[in-house]
Amino acid sequence: MMWNVSREELFTYITKIGVDAKLYDVETYSRVVIDEVIDVRATDIHFLPAADHYTLAYRVHGRLLNWKVLNRQLAERLISHFKYKSGMDIGERRKPQSASMIHETKQGTYSLRLSTLPTLERESLAIRILPHFSTKTLSFLSVLQHSERMLNKVSQLRRGLCLLSGPTGSGKSTTLYAIVEQILKQGGRSIITIEDPVERPIPTVIQVEVNRKSGLDFDAILRASLRHDPDVILIGEIRDEATASLAIRAALTGHLVLATVHANNCYSTILRMLDLGASQLDLKECCRLILSQRLVETRCPYCGDRCSPYCQRRRKMARAALFESLAGEKLMAAISEAVADSLKGFTKEAQKAWALGYLSTEEFARVVHEH
3-class DSSP assignment, residue 137: coil
pLDDT at 142: 80
Most confident among 24-33, 60-69, 151-160 (mean pLDDT):
151-160
Confidence of residue 18 (pLDDT cuts 50, 70, 90): very low
Q: Domain residue spans in the chain?
A: 7-131, 138-370
3-class DSSP assignment, residue 221: helix
Confidence of residue 17 (pLDDT cuts 50, 70, 90): very low
Mean pLDDT value across residues 299-320: 56
pLDDT at 167: 86
Whole-number Å distance between alpha carbons of 148 and 139: 6
pLDDT at 139: 76
Question: Has domain 7-131 been given CATH number 3.30.450.90?
Answer: yes
205, 193 Cβ separation under 8 angstroms: yes
pLDDT at 346: 73
Confidence of residue 51 (pLDDT cuts 50, 70, 90): confident
Q: Which pTM does this prediction carry?
A: 0.78
DSSP sequence for 238-252? E-SHHHHHHHHHHHH
pLDDT at 311: 56
- Predicted confidence (pLDDT) at residue 288 exceeds the cutoff of 80: yes
The alpha carbon dihedral of 8, 13, 14, 16 has a sign of positive
3-class DSSP assignment, residue 11: helix
- Predicted confidence (pLDDT) at residue 250 exceeds the cutoff of 50: yes
138-370 matches 7-131 in CATH topology: no
User: What is the β-pairing status of strands 206-209 and 160-165?
Assistant: unpaired
Whole-number Å distance between alpha carbons of 87 and 131: 20
The CATH class that applies to domain 138-370 reads alpha beta
Mean pLDDT value across residues 119-130: 91
Mean pLDDT value across residues 64-81: 92
Which carries the bigger pLDDT value, residue 248 or residue 174?
248
Question: How many Cβ atoms are within 10 Å of 207's Cβ, its own excluded?
Answer: 17
pLDDT at 316: 46
Percent of the chain surpassing pLDDT 90? 53
- Predicted confidence (pLDDT) at residue 280 exceeds the cutoff of 90: yes
Mean pLDDT value across residues 262-290: 95
